[in-house]
Amino acid sequence: MKPTPSTSSGGLARRSALHRLARTALAGSAVVGIGWPALAQTRPAPRLVTVGGGITEVVYALGAQDQLVGTDTTSLYPAAAQATPKVGYMRQLSAEGLLALRPDALIAGSDAGPPVVLDQLRSAGVRVELVVSDHSWDEVRRKVAAVGRAAGREAGARELQARLDARWQSVLARVQSSGKVGPRVLFVLSHSGSPMVAGEQTAADALIRFMGARNALGGFKGYRPMTAEAMAQAAPDVILTTTQGLEAVGGEAKFWQRPELALTPAWRERASQKTLVHLDALELLGFGPRLPDVIERLHERMVRA
């Protein structure tokens, strides 16, 4: 019997060719967007855990907050970050708690740990991005780049960085144009226990210099207890502290009652309400995308005023 076109070898070949052509056209439609259904599913966006409030702020500034599956306890801004699952304090992380969130990447400051936990995450296939902290504008830039890489949003990170760089340069130019010798500023950290004062190589020291003022204390690195001797030596015109620190000691009136402060010019002028300045701790010390705004506000209040 003579074969019909549907059963002949030629008919089969034509049908096979048509199937191949259809597959090619469908695959191409996903690229050129001509309305054909995509054959392959898009790869899901990386799931992120951030450790460090400044890093979490970058995620939101980049519009990648839907990828956040966990943050540390310092991640309090914006308000939506407070509702994210918390992985604990940045230096006391738990591998079990982190892995339960099934993250693809962890972005953290270089002081996050303990190191054994970070090693366990790497062994489990989690990408670990550590950002070196040196209290510079480059630190902010490193945070933006690290989040961009981990989130798969490198182009967006470059655009965000360009905007932040332009804002930073504008603020620095304004600070430099004032031509004033800034006041002597002392940073006091009093969240718990005995108050501490900031020396060199601290975020507070960098902040004071950026705003065009002078750190009232030098000659040592890090933090020291606030003593009468230190206050007499520092002789600060202005005290800078955190809002949380003031709340911890019972408010401004209670803060000024510390006897060490009575030895300072700032205490003698306290009635002017200009010698005690406070901002949110993360805003002051987080070195995130809000840093240009913070420097501008502090400069206007403490140097130009």
| 305 residues of the chain, pLDDT tens digit each | 444 444 444 444 444 443 443 343 333 333 333 343 443 457 899 999 999 999 999 999 999 999 999 999 999 999 999 999 999 999 999 999 999 999 999 999 999 999 999 999 999 999 999 999 999 999 999 999 999 999 999 999 999 999 999 999 999 999 999 888 899 999 999 887 789 999 999 999 999 999 999 999 988 999 999 999 888 889 999 999 999 999 999 999 999 999 999 999 999 999 988 999 999 999 999 999 999 999 999 999 998 77
Instruction: Tell me if 260 sits within 8 A of 227, measured CB to CB.
Output: yes
pLDDT of residue 41: 52
In 200-251, the DSSP E strands lie at 214-215, 223-225, 238-242
How far apart, in whole angstroms, are the C-alpha atoms of residue 77 and residue 272? 31
- pTM for this structure? 0.84
pLDDT of residue 255: 93
Neighbours of 232 (CB within 10 A): 11
Neighbours of 116 (CB within 10 A): 10
Integer angstrom CA distances of residue 188 from 37, 120, 264: 61, 37, 13
The DSSP bridge pattern shows strands 196-198 and 127-131 to be unpaired
Neighbours of 203 (CB within 10 A): 18
Q: Which domains, and CATH codes, for the chain?
A: 48-173 (3.40.50.1980), 179-302 (3.40.50.1980)
